[in-house]
Structure 1
Amino acid sequence: MKMQGMGDNGAGLHIAVIGSGGAAMAAALKAVERGARVTLIERGTIGGTCVNIGCVPSKIMIRAAHIAHLRRQSPFDGGIAASSPAILRDQLLAQQQNRVDELRHAKYEGILQGTPAITVLRGEARFSGEHSLKVQLHEGGERGITFDRCFIATGASPAIAAIPGLADTPYWTSTQALASDQLPQRLVVIGSSVVAVELAQAFARFGCQVTILARHRLLFSEDPAIGEAITDAFRQEGIRVLEHCQAREVRYAEAEFLLDTTEGEIRCDQLLVATGRTPNSGNLALECAGVGVDARGGIVIDAQMRTQATHIYAAGDCTDQPQFVYVAAAAGTRAAINMTGGDARLDLTCMPAVVFTDPQVATVGYSEAQAQELGIKTDSRTLSLENVPRALANFDLRGFIKLVADADTGRLIGVQAVAPEAGELIQSAALAIRAQMTVQDLADQLFPYLTMVEGLKLAAQTFSKDVTQLSCCAG
């Protein structure tokens, strides 16, 4: 991961930063560290998507739903009496929002207030020239800004499917779903990717009757075995998953949604549309600065996060980068280095990703299909969780761990895992890939017994051994 020019090379530069989320904050702080003066412009809530309406509130909600599920049902019900929990959604929501407010103040507002070299403007920014912005201030009036460099980090918003009648109904996006103090009796979720599956399971575990309409299959961009495992887990919990199903029309009457779908008519009390996110680039007047976008509105950038206007940079969800806040923050830091005379690149070849369903989905590197599309001959093994001692001790065998290796060299090039707490093991896999370890190297490592991450070692051992014939913690 190339990062050069780490000195103080931004002295005298004025950098405008549009946005205040993960990418924007990382860029602003790194630019100040390197001697620049920053004007940060935010049109909405300080902190962007992740802390306010994305990662943080959704994971709090998912965790609360997981606790509710375990009180209602667990593998140990034979010895621990189960009970049906009372879900006080308004109180859970208050707890969730309090933690969001705490983190926003500690990690965003407080830091900005304590950094004199960053001036914060609250308002809507748009380009008025190659080196200038106009900001429509929330307090009234307009302010012009000139800059030496500019960094765009305006994020993305929920994409709305073009379904006839949908716009005339009070449907939810993820934003409304996370902020609602009501739990619908019947919920339909349109979508099959990360946000759709995470929220669908959370609402089901709070007691809602949930139906998912998947245009293809769940998590269709991943290895097919991942979608199959999550679909099986969902159906076991009573979630109705309709694959290869689309809504043709939506109506709303007498507090009820009526969906005409390829599987017939479906009625529900609330509809959640989770069909992806669209870059927030349309109101910036990018053409005034010579900044180009792709077909979906994503700002086009190069390996250094530079746009077609060489003094203007961008990163995060408003570009074509993977939509993860840790990618955005890393890209923001590197963009700031480049804006102030350095040379930094972002290497995403070992980017880990987690879907916070239960079981979780965790991936890094190439899937078999991706590797083969690149002409890499692969060798792979899939370990069922019945061979992982931690899973046996948990009485929870849902999922698998799959390792993908380069057949010619034996090097590990990809890992896909579906398992409870799979997110806690994937970084070890990422480090193994980064270190160019072979599967035999991985098999020879010491892993603590009765941990889920030990499944990586066991999966690596299957390339040369029958792990069913090994003792519990055989090395």
Structure 2
Amino acid sequence: MPTQRSSAVSTWIPGDPDQEKEAKEKLEIWPLDEYNAALLNEVHPYNYIQSTDTPHEIYDLIAIGSGAGGLVSSKQSARRGAKSALISAHLAGGDCLNVGCVPSKGLLSVAKAVSQIRRASDYGIDLPGGYQVNFKKVMERMRRLRTKISPADGHAGTSQTGAHVYQGFGRFTGPDTIEVHHSNGAKTTLKFRKAVIATGGRPSIPSLPGLSEAPYTTNENLFNLEVLPPRMVVLGSGVIALEMAQSFALLGSSVTVLVRNEHFLKSKHGDDEAAQILQTALEESGVTFVTGSAKRVTTIRQRGDDPKEQPLMKVTVGSDSADDIDLECECLLVATGREANVENLGLEEAGVQYQAREGIQVNDLAQTTGNPNVYAVGDCVAGVPRLTHVSGEMAKLVVQNSLFDDNWKISSLVVPAVMYTEPEYATVGLHSASAAEKEGVEVDTYRAGLEHNDRAILEGTNVGFCKIFCRKGTDEIVGATIVAERAGEMINEISLAMKNSIGLRAIGRNIHAYPTTGEAVMGCGIQYINLKWKRLD
């Protein structure tokens, strides 16, 4: 194995004014306190170029992008004996670690604690002094926990697997070559047998008059806030929008979510019962919903250099059935979807076909259209769910297919999805009868409500349900929707069953621990069994 460098050239120093400016302007990370400095030392070391003095003449596999897809591709291939490299332009760990899954769940955990404190009297607990949210400490906690998780995605950890790490922007210069552009102006040319594009995605910003000039916020800078905004307006009603709407409402912001139409969960093929339960839960958390479209954004006061000085914006909302209304806010969160990062990658030189915004075209083996030696995974791929665990699973698939001549197929993946609101909302497969009908599949629906689930009753969270959809007349599971406090944990049992062709009858026969919310999954299975019972004449 080539000699690996033991450390980066230098480190990020908490409070250094020049470095703080650089971190904010180039990496959108601030403040540069001890936790963010430690984070950056893991995922984007200062003045770092590459982890080796002796690059391989040709790499078996090179991954461009250091989110889940790139990390899994490079690490797993290196562990399995390949000459592997990772090219990291921004923050290793990608959106998930830095501006997505990890920090958002850090805030959600605090919001859940606030929700429980609000209901303290229901548990027989008196809080005569009330409670107060210290937003500065909440955000400091989030940064501390994010930093604790970061070594798993950091450059040092990747290098320890045997993969070479290059920090810079990677661009194809031919069908089997990539040029890495480093921050100091240097360039490194790498040759590969197989390459994986894992460049992820970014927030999609709508064309809205006044928005481009406004100091709006996306998930990419939301977690840098140092002062709780008194008022927040959220454009969008998807996962990021609703998770953060509930979090900030519970933390003390006055939150308004703009819902463009009546389809609360973004899809007219979503579950209506789930949508109603979730909307009611968010409203009880303090979220207000306004139906209509944002027509324009007016900036009243720009954000100043002082983090305590908050901007002020006005969002004008209109609908066909009502007069326009104006909503003022200090934080305008734009969460209206995602688009692929495919620009300036030299995809034309590599012969890779793609569409701007939608992403890279791949076949069922994850090979790009136009160059079978180049694969693509994750959010930069057209038509796949934009989820961290999808990126990671596609990366495993690519390593197996590209290096070991296998034929794992994207179409074979069974992908659960979870929104971590309170209650949680989890789906897998055809997640409603309407969605099944759209696909031409007739289904039987089995539903177990939580109103009689003992664990949920004891914890005061017995609002919700588990619905499992089976191909009509059989116990073959084709999808499910769960609304429950532990929906994200419960959905995994159903995903496993679907992946391994385990029918609903077997789930009903499986002994579940008592008392657990997961018994609702078994309840659906028992319903199926009861329909097939033999009876004495």
1:253 is matched with which residue?
300
Find out whether 1:317 has 2:362 as its counterpart: no
Q: Distance in 1 between matches of 2:129 and 2:472?
A: 51
Per the TM alignment, residue 41 of structure 1 is displaced from its structure 2 partner at its CA by 1.2
In structure 2, relative to structure 1, the CA distance for the partners of 1:141 and 1:366 (3 Å cut) is same
In structure 2, relative to structure 1, the CA distance for the partners of 1:126 and 1:359 (3 Å cut) is same
In structure 2, relative to structure 1, the CA distance for the partners of 1:395 and 1:83 (3 Å cut) is farther
Q: Distance in 2 between matches of 1:358 and 1:77?
A: 18
Residue type at the aligned position of 2:425: V
1:5 is matched with which residue?
none
Q: Distance in 2 between matches of 1:197 and 1:169?
A: 22
Q: Does the CA contact (< 8 Å) of 2:246 and 2:286 recur in 1?
A: no
Unaligned runs of 5+ in 1: 1-10, 467-475
Q: Distance in 2 between matches of 1:314 and 1:72?
A: 46
Per the TM alignment, residue 342 of structure 1 is displaced from its structure 2 partner at its CA by 2.0
Residue type at the aligned position of 2:374: I
Q: Does the CA contact (< 8 Å) of 2:199 and 2:341 recur in 1?
A: yes
2:488 is matched with which residue?
423
Candidates 280, 297, 321, aligned match of 1:232: 280
Q: Distance in 2 between matches of 1:450 and 1:15?
A: 48
2:158 is matched with which residue?
112
Candidates 84, 98, 108, aligned match of 2:144: 98
Pairing 1:1-400 to 2, within 5 Å after superposition: 13-74=59-120, 76=122, 78-81=124-127, 84-116=130-162, 118-216=163-261, 217-221=263-267, 222-243=270-291, 245-254=292-301, 255-262=311-318, 263-294=324-355, 296-308=357-369, 309-320=371-382, 321-343=384-406, 344-367=408-431, 368-400=433-465
Q: Which moved more, 1:72-81 or 1:373-382?
A: 72-81
Per the TM alignment, residue 438 of structure 1 is displaced from its structure 2 partner at its CA by 3.5
The TM-score normalised by the length of structure 1 is 0.90
Q: Give secondary structure in 2 for the equivalent of 1:396.
A: coil
1:418-458 Cα deviation digits (max 9, x unpaired): 11111111111222223433333322221112100001122
Q: Distance in 2 between matches of 1:276 and 1:83?
A: 42
Residue type at the aligned position of 1:366: L
Residue type at the aligned position of 2:525: A
How many corresponding residue pairs?
455
Q: Distance in 2 between matches of 1:423 and 1:106?
A: 23
Q: Does the CA contact (< 8 Å) of 2:416 and 2:491 recur in 1?
A: yes
Q: Which moved more, 1:39-48 or 1:70-79?
A: 70-79
Q: Does the CA contact (< 8 Å) of 2:233 and 2:332 recur in 1?
A: yes
Per the TM alignment, residue 347 of structure 1 is displaced from its structure 2 partner at its CA by 4.7
In structure 2, relative to structure 1, the CA distance for the partners of 1:83 and 1:203 (3 Å cut) is farther
Q: Does the CA contact (< 8 Å) of 1:204 and 1:210 recur in 2?
A: yes
1:100-158 Cα deviation digits (max 9, x unpaired): 22222234333223134x22211112122112222221122222222222111011111
Q: Give secondary structure in 1 for the equivalent of 2:367.
A: coil
Residue type at the aligned position of 2:504: V
Residue type at the aligned position of 1:323: R
Per the TM alignment, residue 465 of structure 1 is displaced from its structure 2 partner at its CA by 5.2
Residue type at the aligned position of 2:426: A
1:440 is matched with which residue?
505
Percent identity, aligned pairs only, is: 29
Residue type at the aligned position of 2:293: Q
Residue type at the aligned position of 1:228: Q
Q: Does the CA contact (< 8 Å) of 2:250 and 2:286 recur in 1?
A: no
Q: Distance in 2 between matches of 1:369 and 1:388?
A: 27
The TM-score normalised by the length of structure 2 is 0.80
In structure 2, relative to structure 1, the CA distance for the partners of 1:314 and 1:54 (3 Å cut) is same
Which structure would you say has the larger RCO, counting Cα contacts within 8 Å and 6 or more residues apart? 1
In structure 2, relative to structure 1, the CA distance for the partners of 1:12 and 1:162 (3 Å cut) is closer
Per the TM alignment, residue 20 of structure 1 is displaced from its structure 2 partner at its CA by 1.2
Per the TM alignment, residue 407 of structure 1 is displaced from its structure 2 partner at its CA by 1.4
Q: Distance in 2 between matches of 1:82 and 1:346?
A: 56
1:472 is matched with which residue?
none
Q: Which moved more, 1:268-277 or 1:343-352?
A: 343-352
Residue type at the aligned position of 1:166: L
Q: Give secondary structure in 2 for the equivalent of 1:431.
A: helix
Residue type at the aligned position of 2:300: A
Q: Give secondary structure in 1 for the equivalent of 2:363.
A: coil
Residue type at the aligned position of 1:388: N
Q: Does the CA contact (< 8 Å) of 1:12 and 1:35 recur in 2?
A: no
Q: Does the CA contact (< 8 Å) of 2:231 and 2:330 recur in 1?
A: yes
**C-alpha RMSD of matched pairs (Å):** 2.2
Residue type at the aligned position of 1:49: D
1:244-282 Cα deviation digits (max 9, x unpaired): x11000011134211111151111121100111111111
1:179-200 Cα deviation digits (max 9, x unpaired): 2111111110101101000010
